[in-house]
Amino acid sequence: MDREINGKIQLKVPEIKYTKLFINGRFLDSVSGKTFETNDPRTGDVIAAVAEGDKEDVDNAVKAAREAFDHGKWPRTSGHERGRILMKLADLIEQHAEDLSMLDAINAGKLLHMTQAFDIPTAAFMLRYFAGWADKVHGQTLKCSGEFQAYTLLEPVGVVGLIIPWNFPTVLFVAKIAPALAAGCSVVVKPAEQTPLSALYCAQLAKQAGVPDGVLNVVTGFGPTAGAAVASHMDVDAVSFTGSTEIGKVVMAAAASSNLKQVSLELGGKSPLVIFADADLDMAVQLAWQAVFFNKAIITHASVLLKAEVFSWRLESNGIDINGSLPSSQGEICLAGSRVYVQEEIYEEFKKKTVEMVKNWVLGDPFDPQVHQGPQVDKRQFEKVLRYIEAGKREGATLINGGKPVGEKGYFIEPTIFADVKEDMLIAKDEIFGPVMSIMKFKTIEEAIEKANNTRYGLAAGIVTKDLNIANMVSRSIRAGTIWINCYMATEADAPFGGYKMSGFGKDSGLQAIQKYLNVKSVITPLYGSPWL
């Protein structure tokens, strides 16, 4: 349906079908009966009232998941059958792509054409990827030194708590549940309070696909209550969290102080993009723009996007006309290459070309295919980004574009570019999670490496150069979990994704993602009179 704002603008509002907790295959009110409001970041208006889960609701969800794991058929089902069900879920997500795209757009302020072109296809692709691993989980035969035979078994960890953020609601819901379910675990998902709607929708699709009751549970609510209850629950065997480093520490402490449950953390980032003087300057500018202002996930079989025309082709092939411009969004992504280091020979020209990218830039309703950037997810994030922009100006960085909020309603911020940024400034040190780029200068390769590593984070980094020797040296010297050379944001389902240092540990894609939901058991028996050891 549509709604009129100020008598002029028609805003699309999708039908909200699911707002209750999903526990043991049913939608339920919270035990307390409480609800909370989820808001439209375009206007700040309320979209729907969603059930507010708390400790008792988490207890009920964990109880259902424990029963399903200990006595249910899911972990005892063949990997082939689990994979078949996950494949069916992928089909259903594609069939309901329009609804899911609209939910993520209205709930998170994401560009609708981006959710259609990338987020939902990515979710379906990831499900199929991990479905393919489900029947390939097996151990090894071991060569013992004594008269024994030995082998290993890979067994599902058990009940897994999955706590997801708000910037990629559908993608990260799937990225968490797919490897865990493929491994044979049962799960309790706590989606971000800002974006609960698509997780509940996907839960219903999982039931339709054949995921048994109790295997997948969704408890909506707040981090300090529902999230904390998941992390500290004595009957949860493992927890995987994606979010800020500060909350990651809290989750890890709760896991340690409860039952020493296994922990996987994908946390913040302040990733460097290092541009050398020999780089293709136009490509470097586009990559830098994409690295900071582009909220998206490219985890598909056709993901490597080096130039705007390639990206334009991908969108246009999905029926989206962008008039040759590079689509973007609100910069809310942990991978953002928000520290842009440019070799001094091309520094001034890089700044000039980067500012030129803003021409014809359109902020507005993410349901409009001509819009390049939507709103920040909520008022709190909106105000946080504006505080960092003020800090950048106060500490002496040169503001060369943007820096202001846009409009009287909603949470829109101009794409903001700072030059002459120093290493000790807040905008150079802290993860802002918004449309803010910091441009810095370097002279030598050694200086570039030192500056790139001068951060408490280690999630990703980018290198732009035509020199293979430089690319090899720098990629091996930067301490980060993913290094992109002459590209950025190119991720694949089979490429392990996770960080170094305070960006966390554990991988959320690739074979390593399913391995973290498996325990290794050694089985040893004696041999009597065998001719071979």
How far apart are alpha carbons 411 and 409 in whole angstroms? Answer: 7
pLDDT at 469 over 50: yes
Q: What is the mean pLDDT of residues 79-92?
A: 98
Longest dimension (CA), the chain: 90
> Is pLDDT larger for residue 168 or for residue 322?
168
pLDDT at 47 over 60: yes
pLDDT at 51 over 70: yes
**Which residue do the tokens 């992390």 mark?**
231
| Active-site pick, 52, 266, 414, 431 | 266
What pLDDT does 329 receive?
56
Q: Is residue 460 within 8 Å of 449, Cβ to Cβ?
A: no
What pLDDT does 297 receive?
37
What pLDDT does 328 receive?
52
- Please write the tens of the pLDDT for every residue from 134-158: 999 999 999 998 899 999 999 999 9
Nearest to 231 by CA among 207, 246, 204, 249: 249
pLDDT at 1 over 60: no
Model pTM?
Answer: 0.90
Q: Is 266 a catalytic residue?
A: yes
What pLDDT does 2 receive?
42
For the chain, the structural domain boundaries read 11-267+507-520, 272-494
pLDDT at 308 over 60: no
Q: Is residue 289 within 8 Å of 361, Cβ to Cβ?
A: no
Handedness of CA 312, 315, 317, 321 (dihedral sign): negative
What pLDDT does 330 receive?
74
5 pLDDT band (50/70/90 cuts)? very low
pLDDT at 234 over 60: yes
Query: What fold characterizes domain 272-494?
Result: Aldehyde Dehydrogenase; Chain A, domain 2 (3.40.309)
Q: What is the mean pLDDT of residues 488-495?
A: 89
Residue 329, amino acid: S
Other Cβ atoms within 10 Å of 501 Cβ, number:
18
- Please write the tens of the pLDDT for every residue from 365-421: 888 888 889 999 989 999 999 999 999 999 999 999 999 999 889 999 999 999 999
How far apart are alpha carbons 58 and 64 in whole angstroms? Answer: 10
The per-residue DSSP string of 316-375 comes to HTTT---TT---------TT---EEEEEGGGHHHHHHHHHHTTTT--BS-TTSTT-SB--
305 pLDDT band (50/70/90 cuts)? very low
**Which residue do the tokens 């309703």 mark?**
365
Q: Work out the angle between the directed axes of helices 97-108 and 169-183 (0-180°, nearest 10).
A: 120
314 pLDDT band (50/70/90 cuts)? very low
Q: What percent of the chain has pLDDT over 70?
A: 91
161 pLDDT band (50/70/90 cuts)? very high
Q: Which numeric CATH code is attached to 11-267+507-520?
A: 3.40.605.10
Mean per-residue pLDDT of the chain: 90
What pLDDT does 319 receive?
40
- Please write the tens of the pLDDT for every residue from 179-200: 999 999 999 999 999 999 999 9
Nearest to 306 by CA among 328, 331, 324, 280: 280
